[in-house]
């Protein structure tokens, strides 16, 4: 069969680092082994019942069987604005400052295609979510990596960015609560970010995927709460984690009007928006009772505490994450992140994500997901203990 050549843009896309891990997990399962997967980042809880019922009811409505409006139903954008007002006291214009997205991942890739030309620079956290890299690659732009180090609370240091990079940079990606480190950012850091972005004419893209998942009784700040934030960038919010709707693929971007217009424009050429019944259910999720979100936070916090205590009992001293549903734990002495993750998988049948997959500065760590119940987490740590690596 004839093989056609991929475009230069496709060839520029980074390799999927974790595909090999997935294949190795599947191979062990096919051999009959019981693999505990702590590497994954997909919520394990069901979507709340009232959201499912909203979808079921809306799916019966003939108007949703037609093409949706290109830029989404206004009621979903109104719901997003209402959510931001209720949760963060941020005022948003539904028509000009909200864009409906096919999942947060899509928007995070599209924003680079909207704003970067060949040779432009995006400032990207290292370690960080690999799909930031994908959008930059498709735009034929360059990345300037911003190291996230434990000594800095896994926050980037803007004073370490070169003058050349600041001059060429058009985008700055941030993500707090953070994947993979579980770190959070405070208001003063976001204020520093607004000042830095304003001074250097850079657009901030804050990935707020885990915005609802902050622990120890503290609500995480939205970037858009900071004076001047809407002038300097956007925030991308997904319903995947807050409402266990990962498979529904619904999110929105909010903030700077010019960037929202660009995102709407590129999506006009790619989609005719989401299925209307999904949009109706998403709107009901955002505007309905949020009690289940509090329950979700308590569940993840309890899992976190079980993981940290059990790990420390066996000598694995990782920091308790302050947000997200990930823990970022150091590898034992003498192991790279790949070596340690492979040892856990092959000898303990416990899968974790090697930190190197999130960037050069992820080396020396592994990411552990909290998307398994406490008994499974305890069993995984019991298996790790038998390896005597700590």
Q: Are both 334 and 360 inside the same structural domain?
A: yes
What span, in angstroms and rounded, lies between the C-alpha atoms of 64 and 59?
Answer: 7
Cis status, amide bond into 180, omega within 30 of 0: yes
In a domain, 2, yes or no: no
Would you place residue 225 in the very low, low, confident or very high pLDDT band (cuts 50, 70, 90)? very high
Query: Helix or strand or coil: residue 296?
Result: helix
Would you place residue 219 in the very low, low, confident or very high pLDDT band (cuts 50, 70, 90)? confident
Domain boundary among 267, 287, 307: 287
Q: Are both 15 and 140 inside the same structural domain?
A: no
In a domain, 160, yes or no: yes
Query: Helix or strand or coil: residue 348?
Result: helix
Q: Say if CB 264 and CB 53 are below 8 A apart.
A: no
The secondary structure of 119-169 as a DSSP string is T-EEEEEES--THHHHHHHHTT-EEEEEE--GGGTT---GGGS-HHHHHHE
What span, in angstroms and rounded, lies between the C-alpha atoms of 90 and 118?
Answer: 35
In a domain, 390, yes or no: no
Q: Are both 147 and 243 inside the same structural domain?
A: yes
Number of domains in the chain: 2
Domain boundary among 258, 287, 316: 287
Would you place residue 16 in the very low, low, confident or very high pLDDT band (cuts 50, 70, 90)? confident
What span, in angstroms and rounded, lies between the C-alpha atoms of 234 and 288?
Answer: 24
Q: Does the global pTM surpass 0.85?
A: yes
Would you place residue 169 in the very low, low, confident or very high pLDDT band (cuts 50, 70, 90)? very high
CA dihedral 284, 290, 291, 293 (to 10 degrees): 110
Domain extent, residue 210, equals: 49-287
Domain boundary among 229, 263, 287: 287
In a domain, 125, yes or no: yes
In a domain, 216, yes or no: yes
What average pLDDT score do residues 159-170 get?
95
What is the DSSP-derived secondary structure letter of residue 322?
S
**Where does residue 287 rank: exposed (0-12), middle (13-18), buried (19+ CB within 10 A)?**
middle
- Give the tokens for residue 71: 């830029």
What span, in angstroms and rounded, lies between the C-alpha atoms of 307 and 211?
Answer: 21
In a domain, 1, yes or no: no
Q: What is the CATH number of the domain that holds 356?
A: 3.90.1150.10
What's the confidence (pLDDT) of residue 295? Answer: 95
Count CA within 13 A, CB hemisphere, residue 115.
31
Q: Are both 16 and 114 inside the same structural domain?
A: no
Query: Helix or strand or coil: residue 388?
Result: coil
Q: Are both 126 and 187 inside the same structural domain?
A: yes
What's the confidence (pLDDT) of residue 19? Answer: 79
In a domain, 323, yes or no: yes
What average pLDDT score do residues 23-51 get?
91
């Amino acid at each position: 069969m004839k093989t056609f050549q991929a475009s230069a843009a496709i060839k520029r896309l980074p390799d999927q680092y974790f595909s090999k891990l997935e294949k190795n997990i599947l191979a062990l399962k096919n051999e009959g082994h019981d693999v505990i997967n702590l590497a994954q980042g997909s919520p394990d809880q069901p979507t709340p019942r009232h959201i499912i019922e909203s979808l079921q009811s809306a799916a019966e409505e003939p108007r949703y069987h037609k093409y949706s409006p290109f830029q989404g139903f206004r009621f979903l954008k109104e719901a997003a604005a209402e959510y931001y007002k209720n949760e963060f006291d941020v005022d948003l214009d539904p028509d000009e400052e909200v864009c409906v997205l096919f999942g947060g991942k899509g928007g995070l890739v599209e924003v680079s295609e909207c704003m970067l030309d060949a040779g432009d620079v995006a400032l990207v956290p290292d370690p960080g979510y690999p799909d930031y890299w994908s959008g930059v690659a498709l735009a034929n732009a360059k990345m300037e990596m911003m190291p996230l180090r434990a000594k800095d609370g896994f926050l980037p240091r803007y004073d370490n960015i070169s003058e050349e990079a600041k001059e060429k940079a058009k985008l700055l990606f941030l993500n707090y609560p953070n994947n993979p480190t579980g770190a959070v950012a405070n208001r003063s850091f976001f204020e520093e970010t607004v000042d830095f972005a304003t001074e250097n004419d850079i657009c901030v893209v804050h990935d707020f995927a885990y915005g609802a998942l902050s622990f120890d009784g503290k609500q995480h700040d939205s970037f858009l709460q900071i004076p001047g934030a809407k002038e300097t960038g956007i925030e991308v919010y997904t319903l995947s984690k807050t409402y266990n709707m990962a498979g529904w693929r619904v999110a929105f971007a909010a903030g700077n009007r010019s960037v929202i217009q660009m995102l709407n424009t590129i999506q006009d050429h790619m989609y005719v928006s989401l299925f209307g019944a999904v949009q109706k259910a998403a709107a009901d999720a955002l505007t309905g009772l949020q009690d289940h979100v509090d329950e979700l936070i308590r569940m993840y916090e309890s899992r976190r505490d079980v993981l940290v205590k059990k790990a420390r009992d066996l000598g694995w001293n990782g920091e308790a994450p302050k947000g997200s549903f990930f823990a970022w734990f150091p590898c034992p002495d003498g192991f790279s992140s790949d070596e340690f993750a492979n040892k856990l998988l092959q000898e303990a049948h416990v899968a974790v994500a090697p930190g190197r997959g999130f960037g050069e500065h992820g080396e020396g760590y592994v990411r552990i997901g909290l998307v398994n119940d406490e008994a499974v987490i305890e069993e995984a740590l019991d298996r790790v203990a038998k390896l005597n690596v700590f």
